[in-house]
Structure 1
């Protein structure tokens, strides 16, 4: 489908630009049809009779093709004859475009593993000429379909919308000079890889936190390599340091009671379950009482907010300010226990498993303070409580810093994707000149 012609007039075009069906573009950029520069082929149709066959081979589905990434964690198998293997073999640089589902979602095959093929709900795009950088066009599809609103209504009007080969081949696409394609792809890939590296750091930090919590709530704030030196005792909740106590949660925390109508405190900060993040001890988001209806629970600074609805979601946080909250949140007052330690304790297996075990109801499973108060928990001396909380807080601060970096990279990628693909922003000529030889992966 041809995009709607832009309304910009030539009198408003920047110097060196001309008006095209894709909008204003540099004069040296051409507009061509996708089928002119890419060979398009759909994969093998699924067959129940030949689900495994005598030559089962792994193949890619639409679920494996994400924006800019191919997920190989789960692969299905289907029988491929020698002729089909040759026909549907993937080559490095092939683009895979979703024919159904999220129509047009595109990723590049980079030869991650050998002997993988693809099914008929994917189009394979293979460049016909050397003046094409496939990685550039992977990002072009992402920009066109997620940011620029191009190719709308391109799916066939069947029971399940799909993108035919004919329609795909007719897509108008920009054709910048090859060095500029490579330079743009390089910049976008660099930002994308930085974001992926940050995601890996976040995942590793989260795993570290889980491991650290198990260690700290078992041995206390001692180095892992000195855990054997801690004098331990056997308790009803497992081995603990001999100077720790085992108490019930209700002995160190109490329930704050009292509700208020939103109309009485319209400017108070409001916390709902949607504002509490699983596994996190601080409140990152909130609303206002005026935006809600029905009675709300009151909480004070230093209270612990615990989500009693679907407790397996593991929602508990320390209130750093006063406000009101959903009545599906228990407001707990720490006593004889450090508040931040108490917040982390609510995420420990001692409380989480007890809460899940005491849940009642099917459609809206909840625990209650009466049940939760009976949970057996470890209670270190106050100084150790504070040190345990401090150590966990350091990891949490690292995670938050990396999440902020990820958000910044995502915003940067989105901005660059839009601006570079529309030529609203041009890369410096001396930078582009570096890509006259070689690929965008340099």
Structure 2
């Protein structure tokens, strides 16, 4: 990103900015009463929500960030990451980057620093805790553009960032709507009937309760030896890892095995439509489900669930198990690493309508919400790719902002 167009003049960033490290305030309080100011940590910038505040009487000894000025993570593994400043007290692990606004637009400075993350993060100093190198930072070559062009660039790219944030909000709202819909559908159904109390809570009175093993076969997969290239090299059989089991239809996999690898391990071919559940994972992986959109094998950390009869529709079961994620995770056991196992999965209770029609209706409603979530995630991904492309091309002079027509983008503010 440092390859600025030769047609543009540049200048060292250090010539046009002042750097002020944050300082730890004398006190932090949990509420914003008495005109206390938010304490600006990375958590505040990422979430937008303040959890700590600095009393007004302590402000003279602190560094207060002006709205819109770039703020840089100075210490730690994310050193070099930049945020748009808020009206807040700056944490000691961060630094205020104050540009000379007679020659540099603060928004343009922020966006320029976004392009410099790899250079700043890769050039940190300090043996225990990495720090941004002041020498590296001040030596960065910033395009010396007229202020009006800087403002055009920052205005355009802030619109892009706001459009991305809108898609994040839409996807989050759709996810919350799906969670609410699952709670309603799996406790009340679609027919407005009376409820009964069961071992998994309230369900419609006519519904049945049965273990997964009553109507499904549950097996695990296997991993061919990594030490034998004949099991992997040139393989064409899709092989699923638990990290790929993430509330989705799996149509491709990151790794493939050979027929010999399949025959020489516990891995087995699973038909399209098989439901997979991740049995291992201390983070968020354990308990997640996915559906195979292709024939594939899986590793031993996945439970492969296939129907033995037509009692429970696969898509219905997928959504029901999704709704039970937290409960399923809590059933794991073991020593240092708690996991599920095939016996636990087989014993999981499933409440379901007796008719395939009602199961299909419930699955159809939740499928529609999944499509909505996926659409907003896809839009976000496209916008993020476009943002990165525009950021690079505008900062290097490959294109000029006056040549672009993005009038369909919503208005945005650098301080949003």
The bucket for the TM-score relative to the shorter chain is 0.7 to 0.9
Encode CA deviations 1:344-370: one digit per residue, 9 max, x unaligned: 222232x752x4454231234232333
Contact 1:309 1:366 in 2 (8 A): yes
Q: How many residues align?
A: 390
* Larger relative contact order (CA 8 Å, sep ≥ 6): 2
The corresponding residue for 2:195 is: 232
Shift of 1:273: 0.7
The corresponding residue for 2:272 is: 301
Q: Counterparts of 1:299 and 1:237 in 2: how far apart (Å)?
A: 30
Q: Counterparts of 1:268 and 1:301 in 2: how far apart (Å)?
A: 13
What SS class does the counterpart of residue 20 from structure 2 fall into? Answer: strand
Distance 1:242 1:168, change over 3 A: closer
The answer on 1:60 being equivalent to 2:40 is yes
Shift of 1:421: 0.4
Shift of 1:301: 2.0
Aligned residue runs from structure 1 range 187-202, under 5 A: 187-202=156-171
Distance 1:123 1:320, change over 3 A: closer
Contact 2:221 2:302 in 1 (8 A): no
Contact 1:40 1:169 in 2 (8 A): no
The corresponding residue for 1:92 is: 67
Distance 1:419 1:390, change over 3 A: same
Q: Counterparts of 1:288 and 1:191 in 2: how far apart (Å)?
A: 38
TM-score (norm 1): 0.76
Encode CA deviations 1:330-383: one digit per residue, 9 max, x unaligned: 22222222121122222232x752x44542312342323333333332120211
Contact 1:198 1:405 in 2 (8 A): yes
Aligned residue runs from structure 1 range 274-293, under 5 A: 274-277=243-246, 280-283=247-250, 285-286=252-253, 287-290=255-258
Contact 2:164 2:383 in 1 (8 A): yes
The corresponding residue for 1:436 is: none
What SS class does the counterpart of residue 180 from structure 1 fall into? Answer: helix
Encode CA deviations 1:126-165: one digit per residue, 9 max, x unaligned: 233433211011010111334xx4x676544554332365
Q: Counterparts of 1:39 and 1:235 in 2: how far apart (Å)?
A: 65
Q: Structure 1: any 5+ residue segments left out of the alignment?
A: 4-20, 223-228, 433-438
Shift of 1:219: 1.5
Q: Which moved more, 1:96-105 or 1:202-211?
A: 96-105
The corresponding residue for 2:410 is: none
Contact 1:275 1:285 in 2 (8 A): no
Q: Counterparts of 2:151 and 2:42 in 1: how far apart (Å)?
A: 27
TM-score (norm 2): 0.81
The corresponding residue for 2:177 is: 208
Distance 1:234 1:22, change over 3 A: closer
Distance 1:421 1:375, change over 3 A: same
